[in-house]
Structure 1
Amino acid sequence: MHPENDLQAFIREGYLHFLPHVSLDCVVFGFHDNQLKVLLVKWKKLGGWSLPGGRIKRTEHMDDAAQRTLEERTGIREIFLQQFHTFGRTDRTQNAPLGDVADLFGEPIGPDNWLADRTVSVGYYALVEFSKVNPTPDFFSEACRWWDLHELPPLLFDHNQMVTQALHALRAQLHYQPIGYTLLPETFTMPELQALYETILDRPLDRRNFQKRMLGLGYLQRLDERRTIGAHKSPYLYRFDRFQYEKALQEGLGFGQYVPMTSFAG
């Protein structure tokens, strides 16, 4: 079906297949060149950027809807997802361009349309390996690409607030769950793992204490291989023990200090 026909059918009859009044939005984090990245989509003909998101099918579990949405945007299955907040402010869609987009395709949204009512959005954050992502737009968007966390543009809807709260939730995760398995390549060095933690926390960590702490958690395996960086630098390579990592996800752990929320308001 032609994308414009897809959009028109969604506007007219989407309520038959999707839950009205509720949607989901995903803050997709990647790690590249010691920078935390966020995946965004650019709306067709309007130039505004937003987080990838979508609707929930009437017969679909909400977590499955989030997985489906992100598989369509990234090409990756079984993404690590964490539900972190529900966004329900009455003014959260004041700058929503959906009606304008519909008008561009000859399908205006009237006051009785299912999309015209207030919508509550469930926020998820996802952790993905940067190199495995194939950013793919949907029929609402003309582009999908990574942005540096500190260089985000002003986002549509309340999505800048979503990024801020997702980062806060990710930092909180460092206290009780491991991270890294879905953000780093299969093998990595201890400095690379430390750089990931420092980037998320936005502060330096003591090298010796960090290494001692991470090795003590029991889910890292040191390999009999080194990475040659320079004449006198050849750090060992590590990988995650999948069983121990999953166990730590279930049972929890402790790490670091509380870090206050930082705003990324665009």
Structure 2
Amino acid sequence: MEHSLKEFFDRALKEVSLDCTVFGFHEGELKVLLLRWKGIDGWSLPGGHILLDESVDDAANRILTQRTGLDDVFLQQFYTFGNVNRYVYHPEKELLEKMETTFGKGFFDGIIFRRVVSIGYLALVEFDQVQPTPDWFTDECRWWSLADVPHLLFDHNEMIDRALKALRQRIRNQPVGINLLPEKFTMPELQRLYETILGRQFDRRNFQKLLMSYDILERLDEKRIGAANKSPYLYRFVKEKYERAAAEGVSFTM
């Protein structure tokens, strides 16, 4: 493993990396994917370096495929993190000593702990389709509810905060849901998604009227059997119309 990891970093840009805030929606909650690092019990967002022969977007897609098992992930650049002291959130020397205990002394010489600018990506995925997978540095990859996110390594708590703000801005100007909900869903489930992201509640009738006015939804001749609110109808997004609305923009004002 050491040999292949060294080779990887020989092929990577050393001063630029990327970090991905991966959001999923499950049981009425917005969740984020985190990794637990080996030997230090610290958590971070998925991320990594960009190879010399790939674009930034290709690197983000590669990393997300490796961490989630998905090939087609919605990705959006939302911020560039370039503070001079990005590692001040976790003392460099202390972190390096803990990692060398696990990987061996000198293993990280010339690889990390220099000034690195990170490009932040926002990813939206369907929760049940993700297969959380650790990387070289980590023992565990799993979902966390936003309310329970611990103190993360580096500036990754700030990354989540900024990613959530970017998602809230997006939902006001573009439709959201095709990457977060299953193929078939109820109107209450779609409304709960919007309410969770924006942190507020909406009138049921007004919400349905507004979302149907976008002409991106198809009501199916199927109902959610066993639901609490009298077996609501199922809906699905019409992909072509959804993509057109995303390109042209919508106005979510309630």
Same fold, TM-score > 0.5, yes or no: yes
Task: Measure how far apart 1:227 and its partner are.
Answer: 1.3
Question: Which residue pairs with 1:260 in the alignment?
Answer: none
Q: Scaled by the length of structure 2, what TM-score is found?
A: 0.93
Any conservation in 1 of the 2:32–2:144 contact (CA below 8 Å)? Answer: yes
Question: Which residue pairs with 2:180 in the alignment?
Answer: 183
Task: Measure how far apart 1:183 and its partner are.
Answer: 0.4
State which of 78, 85, 96 in structure 2 corresponds to 1:84: 78
Could you tell me which runs of 5 or more consecutive residues in structure 1 were left unpaired when the two chains were aligned. Answer: 258-266
Task: Measure how far apart 1:232 and its partner are.
Answer: 6.4
State which of 219, 223, 226 in structure 2 corresponds to 1:222: 219
Question: Which residue pairs with 1:261 in the alignment?
Answer: none
Q: How does 1:110-189 map to 2 (within 5 A)?
A: 110=109, 113-189=110-186
Question: Which residue pairs with 1:263 in the alignment?
Answer: none
Q: How does 1:1-266 map to 2 (within 5 A)?
A: 3-7=1-5, 9=6, 14=9, 16-94=10-88, 95=90, 96=92, 97-98=95-96, 100-102=98-100, 104-108=102-106, 109-110=108-109, 113-230=110-227, 233-256=230-253
Going from structure 1 to structure 2, the CA distance change for 1:98 and 1:223 (only over 3 Å counts) comes to farther
Give the residue type in structure 1 aligned to 2:41: G
Any conservation in 2 of the 1:174–1:256 contact (CA below 8 Å)? Answer: no
State which drifts further: 19-28 or 101-110.
101-110
User: 2: distance between equivalents of 1:253 and 1:232?
Assistant: 29
User: 2: distance between equivalents of 1:38 and 1:151?
Assistant: 10
Going from structure 1 to structure 2, the CA distance change for 1:238 and 1:52 (only over 3 Å counts) comes to same
Give the residue type in structure 1 aligned to 2:197: I
Give the residue type in structure 1 aligned to 2:121: Y
Going from structure 1 to structure 2, the CA distance change for 1:18 and 1:165 (only over 3 Å counts) comes to same
User: 2: distance between equivalents of 1:54 and 1:157?
Assistant: 13
Identity of aligned residues (%): 53
Any conservation in 1 of the 2:35–2:140 contact (CA below 8 Å)? Answer: yes
Q: Deviations over 1:190-249 (max 9, x none)?
A: 000000000101111111110000000010001111112358602111000000011111
Q: CA RMSD in A?
A: 1.7
State which drifts further: 38-47 or 226-235.
226-235
Secondary structure at the counterpart of residue 203 of structure 1: coil
Q: How many pairs align?
A: 249
Going from structure 1 to structure 2, the CA distance change for 1:135 and 1:232 (only over 3 Å counts) comes to closer
